[in-house]
Amino acid sequence: MSIDEKGRVAVPARYRASLKEAGVADLVITKHPEGCLMIFPLPNWLPFRERIQALPAEAQGWKRMFLGFASEVSLDSAARVMVDAPLRLHAALDKGGEALLLGVGSHLELWQPVRYEAKEQALLSQPMPESIRQFSY
């Protein structure tokens, strides 16, 4: 998938169907500390936001990162969402460039593909955590 020249990304059909089924057209995009973006359906964002707001003063910088850059967007008629420039910069996403959208439970992650591949390779080069080794898949 790609970021268009206006900074929009199209939500793939596999995710659109779930959003439509849930009656969700409004999303929130914010920074992720690993260098990607998190895209929450608005109903999933609200409890996340409450948990962040409840963090103690020592986490003020993290609160600022998650909440200060949060951008509420709506799917347009072509199922695209606008990704603001500061968010694209954080995730190294260029207008006209490639992007990777991953579903991770309560939200989606939007990655620059080369950055994601590097993260995944670093992960796979480490020993598997015990909790994953014991996980049945």
Tens-place pLDDT, residues 62-99: 999 999 999 999 999 999 999 999 999 999 999 999 99
pTM for this prediction: 0.89
Tokens of 125: 């080069």
Domains in the chain: ranges and CATH:
8-133 (3.40.1550.20)
- Per-residue pLDDT tens digits for 10-21: 999 999 888 888
